[in-house]
Amino acid sequence: MTDRANGRPDARRAQVRRHRRERQIVVFGVLLIAVAFAGVFAAGVYKGDVDGPFSQEFVTPAGAFDSDITLVCPPANKTAMQHRNVGVRILNGTDTNGLASSVADDLDGRNYVVVSTENWGRTYGDYVRLYFGPDGVRQAYTVALNFDGEVDMVLDNREGTLVDIVLGEGFAETGELRSTLAPELDPDAVLSANAQCLPVALVTPEPAPRILPDNPVDKKNKKKNSGN
């Protein structure tokens, strides 16, 4: 039997509890230190101050989204729009008289909605430039298919889907659109860019002209949407 009068079992139990508490303190202390160290290490990797255990970076370095790319990508997996849903304004950037009217007749024959023809007010030495807004990206890529040379596509901050076509000296040398039988004008072909591009949200638009003509296509779409 145990001699309780001497308090030996109580002393042993107290000693066991004390050792248990000491082990728990050590274990929890080590765990807390490990968690704190892991947190500091993870924060350093996230900020880029510490090299992580993997070759792939966890975050994009500061300024990595800054880019010289100004070309907007076409909408993913989209084909050209029906031409009757694309409004264009044609601007003659050359000294060739009647160039804008000639192109207007050709595009009208292809069922585009020609809003107006004008002189650009300055000379454009390259082939063709298109100006369009964020809502007109697919329309601009549809228009670009009609031209056989290098088309400069410029995003500006205009509202609506109107596409401005600036005809340059390079185009004036031939004055002809791409043949309607060309494979590029296959209505089932998916739109694509001919150079590196970025989603429209990542491209900084240029200022749009202060005055733009009314686009009947946009009016028709607004009327249609309001009726739904």
Q: What is the tens place of the pLDDT at every residue in 168-181?
A: 999 999 999 999 99
Q: Give the mean model confidence (pLDDT) for residues 158-176.
A: 97
CA 79 to chain centre: 18
Express each pLDDT in 119-137 by its tens digit. Answer: 998 999 999 999 999 999 9
Residue 167 host element (H or E): strand 163-167
Would the pLDDT of 7 be above 90? Answer: no
Q: Are 156 and 131 in contact (CB under 8 A)?
A: yes
Tokens of 184: 């590029």
For residue 16, the one-letter residue type is: V
Q: What is the model's pLDDT at position 198?
A: 97
Q: Is the pTM of this model over 0.75?
A: no
Q: What is the pLDDT of residue 13?
A: 73
At residue 23 the predicted structure's pLDDT band, cuts being 50, 70 and 90, is: confident
User: Rounded to an integer, what distance in angstroms lies between the CA atom of residue 87 and that of residue 104?
Assistant: 11
Bridge partners for 154 per DSSP: 131
- Is pLDDT above 70 for 62? no
Q: How many CB atoms lie under 10 A from the CB of residue 85?
A: 16
Cα-Cα-Cα-Cα dihedral sign, residues 190, 196, 199, 201: negative
